[in-house]
Structure 1
Amino acid sequence: MPNNFANPIKELTASIKEIANKNYSQRVHFMNHNEFGDLAKSFNTMAEKLQEYNNSNLYKLSFEKKRLETLINNMHDPIVGLDNQGLILFANDEALKIIGLKTEEVIGKLTATLALTNDLMKSLIVSDFQNESRKALPMKIFADGKESYFEKEIVNITIKPTGEDQTIDIGNVIILRNITVILGLDDANPVTSILPIECNKRIILLIFRLSRIDLILRDIC
């Protein structure tokens, strides 16, 4: 094949692969005023529109991510989200505080790995996913210089893929609700104190979206 045909085709093929890999800044530059020149112009217009769309959605996803981060970090209940392989997708500030680890030491790590050196993480995951009630006995945790009691609840997260009839399991959210006041063991707060409002399913689903947004952002960037 003559070079005046082979080279443009080769360049266009390489550029299409770049677009497929989400490199929307890719452009082709054919100087000829022929079919290849028209093709290059159409390709560049398409790439420019894809880049604009990508940047717009990236901003929206970033904004939503920050909003949900603020939401979970303002909750008084420690919350940890796991995917269906036990990978930690998110943990709010309260959870990190009682676990005794930093964000970078927890997010993206397998619970089974952390449980080898962290007793609390081991207590969070041991055998509870086989518990039909999805609840465990109160946990005694020492944090912030005092002893507190927590009731653990595991919320299973499922989705129904488009066009499918059955739901699939995509992970779990672990909620630790402080029940020290209920047990009358908190001297600073009498038993009559008002307890934090229980997290509802809608909030749990919003929280889990945070992990999905994080995965999308990592894939785009």
Structure 2
Amino acid sequence: MKIKKKLLLGFGLLFIVVLIFGATSVYYIEVISETSNVTLKNNYKTLTFTREMRSVLDENDLPLPSGASGVFNQALQKQENNITEPGEKAATSSLRQAFTLLIEPSSGLNQKQQAERTARLQLKKIEELNMRAIEFKNGYTHLTVNKATLYLGTMVFITFFILFILIVNFPGFILNPLRELADGLDQVSKRNYGTRLKFSASDEFTQLAEAFNTMAENLGDQENADLTKIIAAELRIKILIEEIQNAVLGINEKQEILFINHEAKRILNLGEKSLIGQSVLELSKNNPLLKTILENDDVEDPLKINQHSNGSYFQQKSLEVVVPNLKTDLDSLQVAGYSAGKIHFLKKVNS
């Protein structure tokens, strides 16, 4: 899976969770709001109407004055248009019958008193029905709030869990392959061309690892090819030096012998053992002729060397090996050089 798809999947999942969280929050807010609104709007109005009708009965003697009857009738009409609870309609109908008898001119005082008691009983019943409804709706509201709290808390936990996974894994998901790539490049810079990267996922990092492995393999092949060429060139030079009739001695910048042919060993009386890598300064301590050659680069007069009671003359010549070194600055590309050693020649001349 590509990195882009992984990112889209992770953040898409997080987006969906947040969307569900928001939708759930809005839903329960609407439910709680609606429940609270119904409780306040309908039942509270009914309690207001019953209070008005009870006040009329409490504040007036029988028979009721026409003004008080009008107030009672208006409150009763409002109540008849605001019936919401089971049993409230029957109680309101009974209240209407009692009120009709209460204001009937032909009714006696005893009948009016009985109608008043009935009206009060129905008012009490209506109030009890609405009070129970308020308690029930209040409990339902609390239950809804608790449920919403549980659901929203669960959604918050899931959202936090997904965020935690992203925060913990995302840096490693990006940084770990980059760290391995940096380590691989460090190994290649140290000429460890056998270094290989391998990522299990099929993403851009895998493609990068394949490109890195191809590069390392090509560099290794190139180095092997260059090394083969260098070895071949070194062998050719070695053979050429051995075939030269003149004495040849090569030393590096550390004053160590790089090459010396058979003729140089014979003239300098250094024996036949291998001298490659040995210090010429140490060898010259017990070899005055070698010391003379090292201390005198070029001399015009031939150098006389006694060999087996016979004296021969040799012309000495020394060449310093200067290796170019490219140094780049901000203004131009300059070529500088440093000494990589010397080559000393001894050519036999006629006395």
TM-score relative to the length of structure 2 = 0.44
**2:269 matches 1:93:** no
* 1:101–1:23 Cα change, 3 Å: farther
Matched with 1:152 is: 316
CA contact under 8 A between 1:81 and 1:91: conserved in structure 2?
yes
Structure 2: 5+ residue stretches without partners: 1-167, 327-332
1:134 is displaced (CA, Å) by: 3.8
CA contact under 8 A between 1:156 and 1:171: conserved in structure 2?
yes
* 1:121–1:13 Cα change, 3 Å: same
Partner Cα distance (1:48, 1:168) in 2: 33
Deviations 1:117-167 (A, max 9, x none): 2333222213x14xxx54454231426x96543222223344554543666
Partner Cα distance (2:208, 2:335) in 1: 43
Q: How many residues align?
A: 175
- Bigger-Rg structure (1/2): 2
Partner Cα distance (2:299, 2:338) in 1: 18
TM-score relative to the length of structure 1 = 0.67
Matched with 2:210 is: 41
* 1:101–1:135 Cα change, 3 Å: farther
* 1:169–1:15 Cα change, 3 Å: closer
The residue identity in structure 2 corresponding to 1:26 is T
CA contact under 8 A between 2:248 and 2:264: conserved in structure 1?
yes
**Mean alpha-carbon deviation: is it higher for 89-98 or for 147-156?**
147-156
Structure 1: 5+ residue stretches without partners: 184-221
Partner Cα distance (1:116, 1:72) in 2: 26
1:98 is displaced (CA, Å) by: 2.8
**2:189 matches 1:24:** no
**2:174 matches 1:174:** no
Matched with 1:53 is: 222
Matched with 2:150 is: none
**Mean alpha-carbon deviation: is it higher for 78-87 or for 57-66?**
78-87
Q: Percent identity?
A: 25
CA contact under 8 A between 1:81 and 1:171: conserved in structure 2?
yes
**2:237 matches 1:77:** no
Higher relative contact order, chain-length normalized (CA < 8 Å, sep 6+): 1
1:6 is displaced (CA, Å) by: 4.4
* 1:9–1:51 Cα change, 3 Å: same
Partner Cα distance (1:40, 1:169) in 2: 41
**Mean alpha-carbon deviation: is it higher for 31-40 or for 168-177?**
168-177
The residue identity in structure 1 corresponding to 2:195 is Q
For residue 138 of structure 1, the aligned residue among 284, 300, 303 is 303
Deviations 1:1-39 (A, max 9, x none): 644444433332222111111111111111210122111
Pairwise CA RMSD? 2.7
1:46 is displaced (CA, Å) by: 0.8
More helix by share: 2
CA contact under 8 A between 1:141 and 1:150: conserved in structure 2?
no
The residue identity in structure 2 corresponding to 1:86 is Q
* 1:83–1:96 Cα change, 3 Å: same
Partner SS, residue 164 of structure 1: strand
Partner Cα distance (2:187, 2:307) in 1: 52
